[in-house]
Amino acid sequence: MRSYISINVIIIIFIHVNILITPFLTYHVQGFDSIIRLPYSGSTRTRPKTKQVLSITDFGAKGDGFHNDTQAFLEAWKVACSFSGFTKVIFPYGKTFLVHPIDIAGPCRSKVTLRISGTIVAPRDPEVWHDLNKRKWLYFHGVNHLSVDGGGKIDGMGQDWWSRSCKHNYTNPCKPAPTAVTFHRCKNLKVRNLMLINSQKMHMAFTSCRRVVASHLRVLAPASSPNTDGIHISATTGVVISRSVIRTGDDCISIVRNSSRIWIRNISCGPGHGISIGSLGKSNAWEKIHNVKVDGAYLYNTDNGVRIKTWQGGSGFASNITFKNILMENVSNPIIIDQYYCDSRDPCKNQTLAVQVGNISFINIEGTSATEETIKFACSDTSPCEGLYLENIFLPSYFGGDTRSYCWQAHGSAKGYVYPPACFSNSSDFIRQNVLLESNPAINSV
């Protein structure tokens, strides 16, 4: 009994001493709080790192949606970037921060977390970008080990940009518009738990990045908004995008030049233009895309489903790409490879050179098509599509009636049940699938 009482006395004394000492271990510098902890005895490998927390309101940000808070953001970033250890820059909940075009640069000594709990809004007037780079709004570059989260909102206020677009008014000249959030040459990047709405053009872009994880994102813009891709990936390697909802006026996810090791899973997409590889090879460029997997997606009311698109005259390759476990509802062009892509006011001239497309798989895809031509493989005469693979495909018409496949210079194979039947060149699968079609009364009654 005595030993039990003695132990409790020691514990009570330790608690009281800790309470008395702790206030003297706290200091305040330039509006942020940092707690310095005494090092543990023994190995330095168990020593905790110092953490700094900075709110941009402590650097003069008003957060009223009217005053310009750009300078406060820059100053908070500069301080956070200069520390060692871990730092947080916070946009507090319940406030709206007006931020003009901004350049956030690394590298940083610290691993920075940008916690957006409130709302960041862009200027409404495109003239704010006069004499500035019109392709950028929030531009992060050269930052390693950056995390962006917080449950808040980033609003591009893109309505005035859309009204000036040549996609809305063909008499207007085609001019650049900002990507809302760009990460360029960043490594070990995490972006999660954010809402992005009404971007001027693309909502979020990863360019020349390495090792990116993006999850739990909501990306929203009207179906009529031009070129408002949800997530754009360019020249980037090692990307995971998951558990996100994307509803925009263009591609939900677009993957372009020289990107690889991309994994997309559990995505809801629509409206928009679907999930796209490309376009590739524009202006006779050499470009490559390889090792891409889309595993788990729901697409509804989109202009395309899963798509690979290349320009005539380009070179390079798109290979080792898999689309699987996808549900579609009222989707136009559910499965499409188009090596004659031409997004131009003027007709594109015929060219023999083409980006090679091969080893592409479409597995476990079902739902309904808004068009009769459900599967389209329009491949190059000089560089036919090779190694195409269909397995367990069921895409009847949303409106009733038959659907069909179209193939040009497309070579591959099919397994399991495929409807509409495969139409690969020099393949027995076309005959086999037609036999299956005739023998299945359920399909004939669709």
Written as six digits, the tokens of 48 are 């905790």
The CATH code for residues 51-250 is 2.160.20.10
Predicted confidence band at 38 (pLDDT cuts at 50, 70, 90)? very low
Q: Where are the domains of the chain?
A: 51-250, 263-446
Query: Which of 34-43, 46-55, 203-212 shows the lowest mean pLDDT across its residues?
Result: 34-43
Sign of CA dihedral 36, 39, 45, 46: negative
- Check whether 2 has a pLDDT greater than 80: no
pLDDT at 426: 55
- Residue type, position 277, single letter: I
Does an H or E element contain 20, and which? helix 2-21
| Gap between the Cα atoms of 191 and 199, Å rounded | 17
Predicted confidence band at 24 (pLDDT cuts at 50, 70, 90)? very low
Span 400-406, mean pLDDT?
Answer: 95
At 78 the three-state DSSP class reads helix
pLDDT at 346: 85
Which residues are known to be catalytic?
Answer: 250, 273
Span 341-362, mean pLDDT?
Answer: 93
Predicted confidence band at 278 (pLDDT cuts at 50, 70, 90)? very high
Written as six digits, the tokens of 298 are 């729901």
Share of the chain above pLDDT 70, in %: 84
- Check whether 95 has a pLDDT greater than 50: yes
* CA–CA distances in Å: residue 169 to residues 96, 248, 306, 309, 359: 32, 19, 28, 25, 40
* CA–CA distances in Å: residue 195 to residues 16, 116, 148, 276: 45, 10, 12, 22
* Higher-pLDDT residue of 383, 25: 383
Q: 410: which strand partners?
A: 385
The pTM of this model reads: 0.85
pLDDT at 344: 85
191 contacts: CB under 8 Å, gap ≥ 6: 147, 148, 149, 183, 204, 212, 213, 214, 215, 217
Predicted confidence band at 345 (pLDDT cuts at 50, 70, 90)? confident
| Gap between the Cα atoms of 375 and 306, Å rounded | 10
Predicted confidence band at 129 (pLDDT cuts at 50, 70, 90)? very high
- Check whether 50 has a pLDDT greater than 90: no
Span 346-351, mean pLDDT?
Answer: 91
Written as six digits, the tokens of 349 are 């001239």
Per-residue pLDDT of 75-88, as tens digits, reads: 999 999 999 899 99
Domain pair 51-250 / 263-446, same fold? yes
At 45 the three-state DSSP class reads helix
CATH number assigned to the domain with residue range 263-446, chosen from the 4 options 2.160.20.10, 3.40.50.10210, 3.90.1200.10, 1.25.40.10: 2.160.20.10
Span 180-199, mean pLDDT?
Answer: 98
Cα 282–chain centre separation: 22
Predicted confidence band at 173 (pLDDT cuts at 50, 70, 90)? confident
